[in-house]
Amino acid sequence: SWADLMILAGNVALESMGFKTFGFAGGRADVWEPEQDVDWGSETKWLDDERYSGDRELRGHLGAVQMGLIYVNPEGPNGKPDPVAAARDIRETFRRMAMNDEETVALIAGGHTFGKTHGAGDAALVGAEPEGAGIEAQGLGWSSKYATGIAGDAITSGLEVTWTTTPTKWSNNFFDNLFDYEWELTKSPAGANQWTPKGGAGADTVPDAHNASKRHAPAMLTTDLSLRFDPAYEKISRRFHQHPDQFADAFARAWFKLTHRDMGPVVRYLGPLVPKEELIWQDPIPAIDHELVSEQDIAALKAKILATGLSVSELVSTAWASASTFRGSDKRGGANGARIRLEPQKDWDVNQPAQLSKVLEKLEAIQKEFNAAQSGDKKVSLADLVVLGGVAAVEKAAKDGGHEMKVPFTPGRMDASQEQTDVESFAALEPKVDGFRNYARGKLPMSVEAMLVDRAQLLTLTAPEMTVLVGGLRVLGANAGGSKHGVFTDKPGTLTNDFFVNLLSMATIWGPAAGSEPGSDEVYEARDRKTKAVKWTGTRADLIFGSHAQLRAFAEVYGSADAKQKFVKDFVKAWTKVMNLDRFEIAAK
């Protein structure tokens, strides 16, 4: 793919300059249209920063510090050349990329061991970007009126910085220069804030990128000096300066992480250069080391699970909590690994820790009993049992509603350990809002219904799949905390299309509930048109299926008198999809 080629080209470039990379994996896909699901921020102008509140608190899910930047402003916060203040921005942005301080220092220093920035002249002389240029530009934007506009006359960032004396070779010279010189603020030819050695030190030590007869002094960005003047970054930087081998290893690993972070587990990696070492940020899961359960075993295990007395609601809620952590954006989360039983997931409020502990205790007892009874190496994992519990519950709920259904189940999940789980990194997967479970807490970045669509997108669901899952999960009792909002049925725990029938019924009229407040606590109530008695309560994540024209069309299909069987079949299909989202080894077959 082009995506693979771009990363491989970066590795080849590093290797051509004498650097030993950590490895490379193929398997990235190319997309051919802009991704419309990305929230770049609310700003309408480049470099605006409405994303902050209070004491420079960056809005929840954004990463870049200003609109239009990739990471941080290299001149400092909002262009203010303060290395210490810049360190705060660096640390927050790289933390949101799951990079610790050592990885951050390695990436900045390693990346700035090579090459230069470009700010040869006034940025006002650079033309519009490709999409803003005229049709005659044929997609080639940023046409420059400054001299030749290329090579030594190039203007991109507006900064004119070369960090090292060997900008086309791997070295430790970035740290040599960072610590050997004292730095003073200056301006680039384009007027940007940057730093040069005091007193003219270092003059003529850096080669020009385009003219062999020219030499320069080294220069630094404000964000480079953060690695010296932030106490934590400085400690790491001085260690890397004194131990170049540690620096090289740290950069190789951090570069590999940066370029492979969104590929998911190692099972998705392709090619002969895949590193053999298991890395915790890859969310490792043990390889299958035992015989898997048979169809006969599966049937017996389902019977044992239902015999525990656990309710349909408890089993469905637990299976959904485990599987629905999956994110299609970076292929993290999912039921494989059974991390639902580990920190931090076991303590998430949305997962109802007390109920979760009860369910897991009974499933673990079944697991131990089954595994102990086997004469060979056959075993069942808890990860499989969590999903199988949901399968058994859905089958029972369908049968209770008059529909005999066999929900597909493929064993082969394994159980990860706490040591294989990066607690801080997994904390980012905790849902603050989950419309599938009618859960919302605190101040929301957007409406409840928009957050429902966002979660459906992360689960790679279509609009009909999202619709049928919400309707099914409501009547099965999967709401967090046992909430009755959206449970539009008098037969909870039975898989029926009652959610849609009653939502769309003309026998009721909807209005705001008494004391309801906009936001996460917004609640509505359905009153009988004749008696005015309250019949149901619901949230925006419920009412959107009657309000939004497209979603209402799906709801009307599932709420029809002849749709009972279609609803159950479609629910089972969508349910199975979510349960298997992280089963990449199945998808590859």
Q: What is the DSSP string of 143-194?
A: -B-STTSSGGG-BSSS---B--S-TTS--SHHHHHHHHS-EEEEE-TTS-EE
Q: What percent of the chain has pLDDT over 90?
A: 89
**155 contacts 121 by C-beta, under 8 angstroms:** yes
**Is residue 109, in this structure, part of any structural domain at all?**
yes
DSSP 339: G
* Distance from C-alpha of 31 to C-alpha of 260, rounded to nearest angstrom: 17
Mean pLDDT of the region 473-501: 98
Instruction: Return all residues near 413 (Cβ < 8 A) that are at least 6 apart.
Output: 335, 336, 337, 338, 381, 383, 384, 387, 583
For residue range 206-242, what is the model confidence (pLDDT) as tens digits? 999 999 999 999 999 999 999 999 999 999 999 999 9
Residue 271 lies in a domain: no
> Distance between CA atoms of 277 and 268, rounded to whole angstroms?
15
Cβ within 8 Å of residue 375, ≥6 positions away: none
Q: What is the pLDDT of residue 502?
A: 98
Q: Which residue in 518, 510, 497 sits closest to 543, CA to CA?
A: 510
Query: Which burial class, exposed, middle or buried, applies to 301 when counting CB atoms under 10 A from its CB (0-12, 13-18, 19+)?
Result: buried
Q: Which domain holds residue 68?
A: 52-119+156-245
pLDDT for res 588: 61
Q: Please check whether residues 414 and 461 belong to one and the same domain.
A: no
Q: What is the pLDDT of residues 247-295, one digit of tens each?
A: 999 999 999 999 999 999 999 999 999 999 999 999 999 999 999 999 9
What's the average model confidence in pLDDT over 375-387? 97
Q: Residue 445 pLDDT more than 90? A: no
- DSSP code at position 78: G
List Cβ neighbours of 154 (8 Å cut-off, separation of 6 or more).
118, 120, 144
Report, as an integer, the average pLDDT of 22-48. 89
Residues 368 and 336 reside in one and the same domain: yes
Is the separation of the CB atoms in 416 and 386 below 8 Å?
A: no
Q: What is the pLDDT of residue 225?
A: 99
| Within-domain flag for 183 | yes
CA distance 147 to 150: 8
Give the pTM.
0.93
The rounded distance, in Å, linking the Cα atoms of 101 and 549 is 48
DSSP 262: T
Task: Assess whether 114 and 240 both reside in one domain.
Answer: yes
Q: Is residue 265 in a domain?
A: no
Gap between the terminal Cα atoms of the chain: 20
Residue 36, pLDDT > 80, answer: no
Residues recorded for the chain: 589
On whether both 421 and 317 belong to a single domain, the answer is yes
From residue 481, how far is each of 131, 320, 350, 498 by CA, in Å?
48, 14, 8, 21
- Higher-pLDDT residue of 52, 470: 470
- Same domain, residue pair 68 and 176: yes
- The last residue of one of the domains, among 245, 273, 305, is 245
Same domain for 552 and 423, yes or no, is no
Place of tokens 């349910």: 575
Q: How confident is the model at residue 520 (pLDDT cuts 50, 70, 90)?
A: low
Residue 127 tokens, joined? 């033309």
On whether residue 144 sits in a domain, the answer given is no
Q: Is 185 exposed, middle or buried (0-12, 13-18, 19+ CB in 10 A)?
A: exposed
| DSSP reduced 3-state for 510 | strand
> Are both 562 and 416 inside the same structural domain?
no
Does a structural domain hold residue 145?
no
pLDDT in tens, 327-336: 999 999 999 9
CA–CA separation, 166 and 54 (whole Å): 43
If asked whether residues 185 and 309 sit together in one domain, one would say: no
Whether residue 83 is predicted with pLDDT greater than 80 in this model: the reply is yes
Q: Are residues 201 and 106 in the same domain?
A: yes
How many CB atoms within 10 Å of residue 257? 19
Query: For residues 218 and 115, what is the distance between their CA atoms, to the nearest angstrom?
Result: 12
pLDDT, tens digit, 9 for 90 and up, residues 566-585: 999 999 999 999 999 999 99
Domain count, the chain: 3
In a domain, 92, yes or no: yes
Q: What is the CATH classification number for the domain harbouring 384? A: 1.10.520.10
DSSP conformation class of 461: -
Answer yes or no: do 497 and 401 share one domain. no
Q: What angle do CA 577, 294, 287 make, to 5 degrees?
A: 70
Residue pair 69/45 in contact (Cβ under 8 Å)? The answer is no
Shortest CA distance to 307 belongs to which of 373, 365, 346? 365
Assess whether 327 and 419 both reside in one domain: yes
Over residues 407-411, mean pLDDT: 98
Instruction: Write down the mean pLDDT value for the chain.
Output: 96
List the one residue out of 20, 78, 74 whose CA is nearest residue 47: 78
Specify the CATH number for the domain of residue 75: 1.10.420.10
Residue 489 forms part of a structural domain: yes
Confidence (pLDDT) at 518: 72
Q: Are 419 and 371 in contact (CB under 8 A)?
A: no
Type of residue found at 386: V
Domain boundary among 182, 214, 245: 245
Residues 402 and 462 in one domain: no
Q: Name the pLDDT band for 175 (thresholds 50, 70, 90).
A: very high
Q: What is the DSSP string of 225-238?
A: HHHHHSHHHHHHHH
Amino acid identity of residue 573, one-letter, is: K
Confidence of residue 94 (pLDDT cuts 50, 70, 90): very high
Give the confidence band of 446 by pLDDT, cuts at 50, 70, 90.
confident
